[in-house]
Amino acid sequence: MKIFRHLTTTLVTFCAIVAAVVFAFAVVVTFVVSAFSDIEISAWNVVASQIARWFLFWVGIYVIHNVLPIAVAHGRTRREFLVAASGFSVVLAVAMSVLARLGFLAEGGIYALMDWHADEHGTPLAYFLMFLVWCVAGMFCAAAFDRFGAAGVFSVPVGLASVIITTVRIPGSGNLPFIGNIPSLLGEGWHVASVAAFLVVLAGTWAVVRDMPVRVRTS
């Protein structure tokens, strides 16, 4: 419980602060852009659907690569840590999807006042699942690289497959390099695939971390 409390109080707070700063920055950028052209897309959706998932991926890496060794060094077992980290990933994904929703509401108000037009964005459930899977995929890849070194690269296809699934129901999420737009084949039922992806990468993380040696830091 101590690990869970620590992760949620520190990292969720940190992520909320980052989200608030980025929202303010997005609003400023939107006003600057409006001076030169019409506003036809949601700046916050660019953040929520593209940047945020990579941020969540980094959080997952940080949790395993940085916090797990500290937990073990302070006498906590890997199992205790994994239980806490699994719960934390859900809480963080909920918090970030709520923040995404609040951002859309605030941005919607601003756009209405300014008579700007925003494009479509996903449902809170879609964002929640995307954030959840990207965070746990970060944990999985970090665990694989920490444990197997360069051979951890074999975790990348699994991680990539799992995160791509979650972006299908997020409009605008396929505009970054590496991950193209994927047609939505199963409607809202596609979320089941996201849940399955979450379970696969979470199970993979547990399997890799369960008896992973904690490297003694040398520098």
Q: How far apart are CA 215 and CA 207, in angstroms?
A: 18
Q: How far apart are CA 126 and CA 193, in angstroms?
A: 11
Compute CA distances 112 → 77, 106, 117, 144, 191, whole Å: 52, 10, 8, 47, 31
Q: How far apart are CB 88 and another protein at their closest, in Å?
A: 15
Contact at 8 Å (CB) between 208 and 147?
Answer: yes
User: 67 or 142: whose CB is closer to another protein?
Assistant: 67
**3 lies in the binding site for another protein (CB under 8 A):** yes
* 90 CB burial (10 A radius; 0-12, 13-18, 19+): middle
Tokens standing for residue 157 = 């296809």
Among the listed ranges 100-108, 190-198, 199-207, 211-219, the one in contact with another protein (CB under 8 A) is: 211-219
User: 115 or 217: whose CB is closer to another protein?
Assistant: 217
- The CA R_g of the chain, rounded to the nearest whole Å, is 18
User: 72 or 176: whose CB is closer to another protein?
Assistant: 72
Q: Tokens 């999985």 belong to which residue? A: 140
Q: How far apart are CB 74 and another protein at their closest, in Å?
A: 4
Q: How far apart are CB 149 and another protein at their closest, in Å?
A: 11
User: 66 or 184: whose CB is closer to another protein?
Assistant: 66
Q: How far apart are CA 159 and CA 133, in angstroms?
A: 9
Binding residues with another protein: total (CB under 8 A)? 25
**216 lies in the binding site for another protein (CB under 8 A):** yes
* Contact code string over 41-70 relative to another protein, x by CB under 8 A: -------------------------xx-xx
Q: How far apart are CB 119 and another protein at their closest, in Å?
A: 37
Q: Is the dihedral of CA 14, 15, 16, 18 positive or negative?
A: positive
**213 lies in the binding site for another protein (CB under 8 A):** yes
Of residues 70 through 129, those in contact with another protein by CB under 8 A are 70-80
Q: How far apart are CA 149 and CA 217, in angstroms?
A: 15
User: Under the rule (CB under 8 A), what is the footprint of another protein?
Assistant: 2-3, 6, 66-67, 69-80, 210-211, 213-214, 216-219
